[in-house]
């Protein structure tokens, strides 16, 4: 009886220790092997993530087009920018990148580059700029 009780106590201690370690640690940083591994996110899901404060939106288009019109609150980091431009983007949130091209090519490329530079949660937004605008979500002109 005593050995069973000791065995149960040991099992509980191991289980409790594992649960505490898991709760206190975050998922390990994963560098994508290539751009094909960049996950995609829908416009609606991106909006929800931004509204809760869990994510930021990054515009991968050039700065001239960004100044004409962009998603409200987005951060301009044109594709091909020097890595110093990434400093404006927080690493502790999801980074949702959008572009204006079909197939998310530019946003996937920038999301991949940012991941390689140390951003753990980068996503490409499906339908990008046009999808956001068509959904009637907030846009800003002339900044």
pLDDT at 8 over 90: no
Whole-prediction pTM: 0.80
**What average pLDDT is seen over the chain?**
85
pLDDT at 2 over 80: no
Is residue 93 a contact partner of residue 120, using CB atoms and an 8 Å limit? no
Question: 3-class secondary structure for 55-91?
Answer: EEEEECCCHHHHHHEEECCCEECCCCCCHHHHHHCCC
Convert 96-121 to b/e letters by CB count within 10 Å (16 or more is b).
bbbbebeebebbbbbbbbbbeeebbb
Q: How far apart, in Å, are the Cα atoms of 125 and each of 1, 2, 11, 19, 33?
A: 60, 59, 45, 34, 19
The domains located in the chain, with CATH, are 35-141 (3.40.250.10)
Distance CA 126, CA 114 (A): 18
Distance CA 70, CA 77 (A): 12
Over residues 83-99, the pLDDT tens digits come to 999 999 999 999 999 99
9 vs 63, which has greater pLDDT? Answer: 63
């Amino acid at each position: 009886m005593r050995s069973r009780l000791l065995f149960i106590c040991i099992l509980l201690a191991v289980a409790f220790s594992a649960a505490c370690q898991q709760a206190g640690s975050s998922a390990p940083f994963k560098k994508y092997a290539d751009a094909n591994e960049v996950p995609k996110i829908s416009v609606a899901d991106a909006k929800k993530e931004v509204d809760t404060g869990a994510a930021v939106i990054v515009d991968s288009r050039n700065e001239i087009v960004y100044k004409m019109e962009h998603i409200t609150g987005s951060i301009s980091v044109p594709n091909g920018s020097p890595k110093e431009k990434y400093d404006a983007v927080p690493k502790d949130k999801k980074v949702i990148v959008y572009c204006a091209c079909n197939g998310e090519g530019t946003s996937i490329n920038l999301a991949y580059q940012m991941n390689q530079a140390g951003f753990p949660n980068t996503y490409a937004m499906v339908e990008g700029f046009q999808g956001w605008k068509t959904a009637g979500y907030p846009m800003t002109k002339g900044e």
